[in-house]
Structures are given as C-alpha cells and as structure tokens.
Structure 1
Amino acid sequence: MSKSASQRISSFDTLIDYEQRSLAHVAGSPEMIEAPGHWRGVGFRLGQRRLVSSFDEVVEILPLPPVTPVPGSQPWMLGVANVRGNLLPVVDLKQFLEGERTLVHEGQRVLVVRQSGGNVAVIIDELFGQRTFNDSHRTELSGDNDGRYGHFVSQMYRLADINWSVFSMSTLTRTPEFRQATA
C-alpha cells in the first residue's frame, strides 16, 4: 500500500471518529429541548425587565427597518415599514407599556409578532436570543410584573439569579388599546 493510500485511510478514519463523537454528544439535542417540562422562547429586555416570549408568537427577528411615520397615530406607534413588500406597523413596546421612548441605536432589533389582520413589529431594548427553561426554573411572580406588565405576564422563570417574565405577545396584540393605534 502506498503512503498516500495509508494517509487517505487515516484521514477517513479521523472523519469517522469525528462523526461518532459528534453523534454521541447529546447536549442540546432536539430530543432534550422538546422534552416534557421544557419551555423555549425568545429572550429580550425592556428597560430593566428581562422578558421572554414563546417562539410560537414571534415570527422573526429583524434589524429595525426604515420607518415612515403615520400622522395622527399614538406616540408609541412609530409608523410603518416595508419588509419584503409587506407593510408592518412598528410599535415602541416600552413606550406602550411604560410611557418611555426606546433609545434607538445602530443594530436595534424588532420582534415581528403575529396579530390578526397581519403581523406587527415591536421594538425592544436588547435581544438575548433563545432561552430554554424547565419546570425546576419556575418561580412565583414578583412585584416587578405589577401595573401594565401584569396583564401580559402570567408566569416567571428564574435562571442563574435572573428573573425572566413570560410576556404574552398574543395577549398584547388582542388588547383593544394596542389595536387602536390612531389618536
């Protein structure tokens, strides 16, 4: 057997070894993520609050598109944006909930959320990405969820000393005040 043939066999054996070790590694495998008692969502920040919304409610995450203001709309309704040929209303979620405007910066993200009659984009302060919790992370709701947040938060998880309030985007989009964006 020539030297190049033995190198090919050796390289092939190395690839087989990589594959076997990769398949044996189960951390984060889909089977575990979908296991009973596990819950996944999109983590984000509004003001000082860490929130998480279900993947079922968030259609996609985008950089803030150019927004065209809509005269006569509520202050929290920033306008509309053209996203791949579809007009989306763009809402400042923090201003809607807290009355305080989000400071828009380069790299700002929006969550595109399902709502009857078409999707809506909501601006958030910071995106944390996917978060996975299990039943052992559940905790009692805190006073942080009083006021306007209380209507949209029904459960909370605590992970690494951080409280994550589960924010219902579907409840938000069904709220009459949210649906009535004109002044």
Structure 2
Amino acid sequence: MAKHSSSQNKRPGPFEVLLDYEQRSLAHEAGRPEMVEAPGHWRGVGFRLGKRRLVSSFDEVVEILPLPPVTPVPGAQNWMMGVANVRGSLLPVVDLKMFLEGERTVVHEGQRVLVVRQAGGNVAVTIDELFGQRTFNDSHRADSAGDIEGRYGHFIGQAYQLADQTWGVFSMSLLTRTPEFRQATA
C-alpha cells in the first residue's frame, strides 16, 4: 500500500490564495474602464430631478445613501426636510426639487440622497432617481442655454447629449454657495 503524500492533497492556505490574487491582479492589463480619465472624457453621478436628467461631478458628491431617518427642524424653510444622523454626524437633509421647483419630492422606498461637500460640513440632497455613473466625451457636448428654465439656469453651465437624452451638468458647489441655500431658517 502506497503512502499518499500530504502535500499532494493539501489545499492552499489563505495566504497563498491572496498571493495568487495579487499576482494575477498585477499581471492584468488595464482595459477600457480606466480610460475614462483620458483627455476629452468627463464622468459624474447621473440622477433625475423632476423631468430633468442631471449629472454632477464625482468631486462634488461625497457619497450616495438611502434616505436616512430625518428629524424635522422647527422654523426651517419648507425645502429643509430636517437633520439625519449618519454614522454619528448630523447632516442637514434638503429636498432639492422643493428648493429648485417649489414641488415636494415624493419619498419612496429605495429613495436616495447625494451627500455633497459644503463649507462647514456636508449636506444631503434628495433626488427623484439615481442613474449611477455616466461618462461623456467632447463629442457629446450640447448647447444647453436654450432649454434651461427657472432656477436651474444658475446651476447648469453645460450639457451633454447622449442617446436622445440631454444631461445637464449640475454644479453642487454653486448650489452650496448660494446664500438662499445656506440660509435654511424661515
């Protein structure tokens, strides 16, 4: 009867598995997704607000979260939903559609908020629908001056046309610097 060597039946340990993953990862050739940083390409977070498809720069959106429980703040503007505790930090939560259009966002299961940088701390803004990452190149640029109405005109400086959809580039940094937005008390 032949003895079986224990090394023949031995499975690789966790360290060996991780080492194999690392070696294969380092050997992997970068593909198309990494090319979005090429000149002429722009990408951001796509979302819908009312009837508009908008996109904001990844530099302006800190994270995307489900709508946390919100505590109303007495004496606040009607577009200020309240504050929410997110991992121990209080974030103001703003109904962006109410701020821009005067129409309340219909809150639903799966509602998302964009956490946006602003001086003095982040703020969460509600959106109607999240589309995720969108990538555009210079050939997608569109003339946006003709179709921007109302308050949106102050925050949309350019647009992209892609597959019969116009995506306005919405500046969250302009929004957070607007005196009216910064003054949430009624």
State the alpha-carbon separation in 1 of the partners of residues 102 and 147 from structure 2: 16
1:125-155 CA distances to partner (integer Å, 9 max, x unpaired)?
0000000000000010153312200000000
What is aligned with 2:121?
A: 118
Q: Please tell me whether residue 26 in structure 1 is matched to residue 31 in structure 2.
A: yes
1:94-121 CA distances to partner (integer Å, 9 max, x unpaired)?
0000000000001100000000000000
What is aligned with 2:12?
A: none
Q: Please tell me whether residue 100 in structure 1 is matched to residue 103 in structure 2.
A: yes
TM-score by length of 1: 0.85
1:23-66 CA distances to partner (integer Å, 9 max, x unpaired)?
467232x1x11100000100000000000000000000000000
State the alpha-carbon separation in 2 of the partners of residues 63 and 71 from structure 1: 24
> Aligned match of 2:139 in 127, 130, 136?
136
Q: Which runs of 5+ in 2 are unaligned?
A: 1-7, 9-23
State the alpha-carbon separation in 2 of the partners of residues 146 and 170 from structure 1: 20
Following superposition, the deviation at residue 160 of structure 1 comes to 0.8
Specify the code of the residue in structure 2 equivalent to 1:82. Answer: N
Structure 1 residues 26 and 167: alpha-carbon distance in aligned structure 2, compared to 1, 3 A threshold: same
What is aligned with 1:180?
A: 183
Higher Rg of the two aligned structures:
2
State the alpha-carbon separation in 1 of the partners of residues 85 and 67 from structure 2: 11
Structure 1 residues 25 and 98: alpha-carbon distance in aligned structure 2, compared to 1, 3 A threshold: same
What is aligned with 1:57?
A: 60
CA RMSD of aligned residues (A): 1.7
Q: Which runs of 5+ in 1 are unaligned?
A: 6-18
State the alpha-carbon separation in 1 of the partners of residues 133 and 51 from structure 2: 19
Q: How many residues align?
A: 164
What is aligned with 2:174?
A: 171
Percent identity over the alignment?
79
